[in-house]
């Protein structure tokens, strides 16, 4: 692995995640303060459905693009043409899925939601599907600077569009939802022009398999990978659906504040993950495991101080930014803070298993954790409210991390100390990435 290239990519990804978080956080505060707990819960629900459909509908195609295009297994033009065809197939599938979900859930989760808002939220599906799928071309080429600029641009535009909401005399969920759609549409256009330029400049010699049916190949690879992605997504989102069902929009509003703040520590790990898969895909044999173990140790070390700070100052953070009305979010946030730190380790392992072709490991561990999460929430949400949901997440996340760690040690031929034992070299690598200018240029 070329250390400088990896650190440069991580640094750009982190800067993008950090800046977009700051603006997204500002948007979240505006929405929470102007819409109140119930309006915030309704907005979160409207975002949750298209996000869920998008996670299902993309069928793992972004990772397939990174694998086939980033690995130089086919030409740039063929990869792009295949992706366009696949996009329209997935878009049709996703919109049918969205409509079917609304029809099934209209009398339960969406019984108090207007049809106009549900239709408006549907526009997020094609926009997000396009941006995420075609951004994979930039990711495959490790153009993290471009990806970060797009990410930050979307967040800034979102806040700008939300500003009139802060001065509105009445709560307006539709305005908040429309602002998100317009910001993401602008980001999709940005991606389109960058990728078109990339395809024109990138020349990859045609391989012996250039004439095969790549649409089928992309869908086949992506579908297997997608099962693990879906299980992971619903581990993180199932509790929100269940809170809405058992407790209503108000408690969902409290809980989504807790979740959003706790997952801020993924600013670091998400930055590493963005670079880890294309980097590991270029390595072979045990070298993958050795590189992955060092990245795991260093990332967990980097995330620890932020986790402790958020845990320590949970109460003043929530009361200051979200107001006293969101005090019920404090205890769930503290529980989720610990759970999220544990799950950071498991999230990074996903990229290693994908690079090794061990997709069934992700399916096994995430599937087991999801089953446990749902089972615990069935009993703990009615009994303990949103605190019970947070505890269910802690238990299920921990199980997933333990199982993933076991398979990582076994497949990589590593000892536990090589994965969990921090040392001076790890700290030096971390400080090098943070303070040396070379890591960011």
Give pLDDT, residue 437. 36
Q: What's the gap between Cα 387 and its chain centre?
A: 23
Residue 396 · residue 235 · CB < 8 Å: yes
Closest residue by Cα to residue 112 from 170, 32, 45: 45
DSSP 192-225: HHHHHHHHHH------TTTTS-HHHHHHHHHHHH
Residue 269 · residue 299 · CB < 8 Å: yes
Could you report the per-residue pLDDT of 216-269, keeping only the tens digit for each? 777 777 778 778 878 887 888 889 889 988 988 888 888 988 888 888 777 777
Residue 139 vs residues 69, 257, 275: alpha-carbon distances, Å: 10, 30, 8
In sequence order, which ranges of 313-415 are alpha helices (DSSP H)?
A: 314-322, 330-356, 359-384, 386-412
Count of domains observed in the chain: 1
Q: How far apart are CA 437 and CA 312, in angstroms?
A: 31
Give pLDDT, residue 368. 95
Q: How far apart are CA 93 and CA 222, in angstroms?
A: 15
- Residues 156-187: b if buried by 16+ CB within 10 A, e if exposed: bbbbebbeebeeeeebebebbbbbbbbbbbbb
The C-alpha angle with vertex 431 and arms to 429 and 435, in degrees rounded to 5, equals 130
Residue 40 vs residues 101, 124, 125, 155, 172: alpha-carbon distances, Å: 21, 18, 20, 18, 10
Closest residue by Cα to residue 221 from 62, 57, 88, 64: 64
Give pLDDT, residue 440. 35
Closest residue by Cα to residue 311 from 325, 331, 294, 292: 331
Secondary structure percentages of the chain, helix, strand, coil, to 5:
85, 0, 15
- The pTM is what? 0.67
Those residues whose C-beta lies under 8 Å from the C-beta of residue 368, and which sit 6 or more positions away, are 399, 400, 403
Domain that includes residue 303, residue range: 3-440
Give pLDDT, residue 4. 58
6: tokens are 């990896």
Residue 122 vs residues 35, 59, 181, 185, 331: alpha-carbon distances, Å: 21, 18, 10, 13, 33
Query: Which of the residues in the chain have pLDDT under 50?
Result: 1, 208, 430-431, 433-441
Q: What's the gap between Cα 110 and its chain centre?
A: 24
DSSP one-letter code for 168: -
Residue 277 · residue 354 · CB < 8 Å: yes
Give pLDDT, residue 321. 81
Closest residue by Cα to residue 55 from 242, 180, 218, 233: 233
Angle, to 10 degrees, between the axis of helix 124-140 and the axis of helix 173-201?
30
């Amino acid at each position: 692995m070329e250390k400088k290239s990896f650190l440069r990519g991580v640094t750009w990804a982190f800067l993008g995640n950090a800046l977009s978080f700051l603006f997204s956080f500002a948007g979240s505060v505006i929405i929470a303060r102007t819409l109140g707990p119930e309006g915030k819960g309704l907005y979160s629900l409207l975002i949750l459905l298209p996000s869920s459909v998008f996670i299902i509908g993309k069928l793992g195609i972004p990772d397939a693009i990174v694998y086939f295009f980033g690995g130089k297994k086919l030409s740039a033009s063929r990869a792009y043409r295949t992706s366009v065809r696949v996009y329209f197939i997935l878009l049709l599938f996703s919109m049918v899925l969205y409509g079917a979900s609304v029809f099934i859930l209209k009398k339960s989760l969406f019984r108090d939601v207007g049809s106009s808002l549900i239709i408006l939220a549907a526009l997020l599906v094609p926009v997000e599907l396009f941006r995420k799928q075609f951004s994979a071309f930039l990711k495959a080429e490790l153009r993290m600077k471009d990806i970060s600029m797009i990410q930050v641009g979307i967040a800034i535009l979102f806040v700008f569009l939300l500003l009139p909401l802060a001065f509105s005399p009445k709560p307006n969920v539709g305005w908040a939802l429309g602002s998100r759609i317009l910001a993401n549409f602008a980001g999709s256009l940005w991606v389109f022009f960058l990728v078109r330029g990339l395809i024109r400049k990138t020349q990859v010699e045609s391989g012996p398999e250039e004439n095969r049916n790549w649409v089928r190949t992309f869908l086949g690879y992506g579908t297997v990978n997608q099962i693990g992605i879906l299980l992971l997504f619903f581990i993180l989102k199932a509790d929100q659906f269940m809170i809405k069902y058992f407790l209503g929009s108000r408690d969902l509003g409290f809980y989504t504040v807790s979740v959003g703040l706790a997952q801020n520590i993924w600013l670091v790990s998400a930055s590493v993950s963005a670079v880890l898969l294309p980097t590991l895909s270029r390595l072979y044999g045990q070298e993958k495991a050795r590189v992955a173990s060092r990245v795991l140790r260093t990332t967990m070390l980097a995330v620890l101080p932020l986790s402790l700070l958020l845990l320590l100052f949970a109460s003043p953070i929530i009361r200051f930014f979200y107001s006293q009305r969101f005090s019920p979010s404090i205890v769930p946030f503290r529980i989720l803070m610990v759970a999220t730190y544990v799950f950071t380790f498991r999230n990074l392992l996903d990229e290693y298993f994908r690079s090794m072709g061990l997709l069934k490991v992700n399916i096994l561990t995430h599937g087991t954790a999801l089953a446990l999460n749902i089972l615990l929430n069935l009993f703990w949400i009615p009994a303990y409210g949103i605190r019970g949901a947070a505890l269910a997440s802690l238990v299920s996340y921990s199980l997933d991390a333990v199982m993933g760690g076991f398979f990582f040690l076994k497949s990589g031929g590593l000892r536990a100390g090589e994965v969990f034992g921090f040392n001076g070299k790890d700290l030096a690598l971390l400080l090098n990435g943070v303070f040396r200018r070379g890591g960011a240029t």
